[in-house]
Amino acid sequence: MPELIPVLTREEIKKRITGIAVQISKDYENRELVLIGVLKGAFVFLSDLIRHLTIPVQLDFVSVSSYGSGTSSTGEIRLTKDLSIDINGKDVLIVEDIIDSGQTLQWLSNYLSSLCPNSVKICTLIDKRERREEQISVDYSCHTVEEGFLVGYGLDYAEDYRYLPGIYHLKL
Ligand code: IMP
Ligand code: MG
């Protein structure tokens, strides 16, 4: 049986989101901010984050496929759902569930930058350091871990566990 070891409770997640929401609201005051969630993993995080912001924002989603059903990247990235709003001249904040090798975000920031926004920054729920391959600058992060495979609060393993309110380390 897979084992679930608690990493963050729903209360701890809420506290951290409140903290970065204050920072983001301050940094983007009087700007045209578009939050871009990376499906599916970031949907829970983004829906909580947006309700803690105190500035007006626009919202969109993209979907990229980089993982099969395993726990490590296939290295191949494809856009499976594109933006539906125009980000030309706007400030973009990518909202991701977890950064691992950094390949997905490296690819996505390059793609979004090609659409001529005013800026592109990165906000992640979890910054996982162990397997980083790309020099990614993470602008906002709720939690850092060195290693392990995490599930819950939107994060999945082969589409399971997304519904859990807290975040867990999955031991297979
Ligand atoms: P990267 O391209 O290696 O940075 O992989 C990032 C993507 O892989 C994330 O958006 C997640 O969808 C997935 N991923 C990486 N590590 C984990 C994990 O520990 N749990 C769940 N998904 C993960
Ligand atoms: Mg993801």
The pLDDT of residue 43 is above 80: yes
Domain spanning 3-171: CATH 3.30.379.10: no
Task: Give the model's pLDDT for residue 76.
Answer: 78
Place 171 in a pLDDT band, splitting at 50, 70 and 90: very high
The pLDDT of residue 69 is above 90: no
CB atoms within 10 A of CB 66: 17
Atom 12 of ligand 1, residue of closest alpha carbon: 41
| Contact residues of ligand 1, CB 6 A cut-off | 38, 41, 66-67, 73, 96-104, 128, 149-151, 155
The pLDDT of residue 68 is above 60: no
- Ligand 1 centre distance from Cα of residue 107 (Å): 14
Residue 165 CB-density burial (10 A; 0-12 exposed, 13-18 middle, 19+ buried):
exposed
What number is the average pLDDT over the span 116-140? 96
- Phi, psi of 71, rounded to the nearest 5 degrees: -110, 10
Among 68, 58, 69, residue whose Cα is nearest residue 92: 58
Q: Contact, 52 vs 21, CB < 8 A?
A: yes
All structural domains of the chain with their residue ranges: 3-171
Q: Which structure tokens are listed for 140?
A: 């906002």
Task: Give the model's pLDDT for residue 81.
Answer: 97
Task: Give the model's pLDDT for residue 5.
Answer: 98
Q: What is the pTM of this model?
A: 0.94
CA torsion angle 93 97 99 100 (round to 10):
-160
Name the residue of 46, 100, 145, 171 whose CB sits within 8 Å of the most ligand 1 atoms, as the mutation to test its pocket: 100
For residue 127, list its beta bridge partners.
99, 144
- Contacting residues for 68 by C-beta, under 8 A, at least 6 apart: 74
What SS3 state is found at 12?
Answer: helix
Catalytic residues: 100
In Å, how far are 45, 47, 55 from 14, measured between CA atoms?
10, 12, 18
Query: What is residue 60's DSSP assignment?
Result: E
Task: Give the model's pLDDT for residue 71.
Answer: 62
Task: Give the model's pLDDT for residue 65.
Answer: 84
Q: Determine the Cα–Cα distance for residues 66 and 75; give it in Å rounded to an integer.
A: 6
